[in-house]
Chains A and B, each alone.
Chain A
């Protein structure tokens, strides 16, 4: 028998309501560790909602109710003793519109360190090193090393989005959630982000929501197809696109609705 597959996220019968409206219906899924998993489906099917369950950021709206079990690295994140702060350190998120904070590039990257560590633990040298490391990892260091004091919101969109990825890294996350990270970018930017995902994969598990089926096909190892709040199919990307098991999946990838 081969080595058992590790799952970074496992959910069981997750249901979610926005007030009275049910946006997720009994979603059960196992997402593999160290892989890129894409979430596809027509607009409004609940991709963003599901992604936002994994770091519990949905809870900032008080009209949201969640039911079911979500385990991240084996731990149920809805347990009483789970600290939201620890969870969000482990599970980073990249948003649809690049949203660097309105402070300098440098401060954006050390933001996580500053809020999670005692002042004494965040010595200048430690911070400097973290900034260089994170920016190098997302291939921004050469472009930005002389402009670390620039306000991050004035960068090009592609750089902003890379910065949004870079600022997760000093916290050493296990999982990176991306919600249509390329939808605000041009072709070049999209390619750059995809390359970056390949480089990060393995060390981090990546879950990416995308509208772009070509992107899902190019960039992901596994693919999840959702429809009307339900999970329809989850297999290896190649299989999903070549031999979809469910007729609804077939219809969607043939472009019948979208």
Chain B
């Protein structure tokens, strides 16, 4: 019986036919096919159920606040004052938080995409033997470093370094240059240790392993015959990469970058420590910022269950959720667009 050899295939492909068969004659594999089928189906659906449940939960907590929130303020004001004080009325303006999330992510991607793709190309096309194996292990190790450790590195190592490099005496010509180029804060001319740049670089370091390992997979999946075709036409390795491997692996490379971006947007602990956690719109590269994720993490503990502050933090969560979802949808659309363009 061929069916015996591949019980799983058959039940996935043609459930009806299998059921008919099992009525005719008792057979162990046939008898567990139905439950197995449901189990597998459940596994498939569980991710969707999970996402729906998460969304519902966040939404439930946020819901009472949705009609009451001043949405214009939320999206256009940087005044995030959850705990009102005399002369300082409560205000939920999340603009600076949105800007913080987007700027740190942007800086992270500017660094991580070229570095990540370059490293992936080097590992998959140029490195040989020991070097290749070592690099792959190192990349995996990098991916395994907990985010709090990255936060420490930002705080203790990278921050002081950036502070030293970007700080110049106020009024000096160098300080003037830094301020003009928006590299150091206009107010003091001095750079903070923990700031937008530090956070961005730390996020980049965290996104690079993701981008490298996924891009490397994508490049490795390109058939060797393409490389030989290009080489036999006299292409050098670099031309082969640029003109053959990149087009051939485009979808995988794009997906890798999108996942790297997702990692940067969603990161919490490292940015909490490395960005300075300061609610304002940055004017310079070394101004401290604050992200949505860090705000939720830092403030959730001090809220009173059910009060507006509590609920607005959940609204921030919904916004984050929407951002990551749209990144995914956008990448899907880009990939589909690329596919269509290839066929046309």
Contact = CB atoms under 8 A, between A and B. Distances in A.
21 contacts: A57-B232, A60-B227, A60-B228, A85-B234, A85-B236, A88-B231, A88-B232, A89-B234, A95-B232, A99-B225, A100-B229, A102-B226, A103-B243, A111-B230, A111-B233, A112-B233, A112-B234, A115-B234, A151-B343, A164-B229, A167-B233
B335 interface: no
Given A62-B128, A111-B243, A151-B342, A116 B228 contact: no
Q: Is the interface of B mostly helix, strand, loop or mixed?
A: helix
B281 interface: no
Given A57-B232, A115-B239, A99 B226 contact: yes
Contacts of B223: 99
Contacts of B228: 57, 60, 95, 99
Interface in A60-81: 60, 62
Interface string A40-63: 000000000000000101001010
A218 B76 CA distance: 80
Contact of B248 (A60, A84, A102): A102
B235 interface: yes
Given A112-B234, A115-B243, 17 more contacts: A60-B228, A85-B234, A88-B233, A88-B234, A95-B229, A99-B226, A101-B229, A101-B244, A101-B248, A111-B230, A114-B243, A115-B234, A115-B235, A116-B234, A150-B343, A167-B233, A171-B234
A154 B223 CA distance: 15
Interface residues of A, number: 32
Contacts of B227: 60
B234 A57 contact: no
Interface residues of B, number: 22
Interface in B206-243: 223, 225-236, 239, 243
Contacts of A115: 233-236, 239, 243
Interface of A: 55, 57, 60, 62, 84-89, 92-93, 95, 97, 99-103, 111-112, 114-116, 149-151, 154, 164, 167-168, 171
Nearest to A94: B232
Nearest to B237: A60
A63 to B, nearest CB: 10
Contacts of A101: 226, 229-230, 243-244, 247-248
B344 interface: yes
A60 B231 CA distance: 9
A92 B247 contact: no
Nearest to A88: B234
Given A101-B226, A149-B344, A154-B343, A93 B232 contact: yes
Nearest to B234: A88
Interface string B303-344: 000000000000000000000000000000000000000111
B238 to A, nearest CB: 10
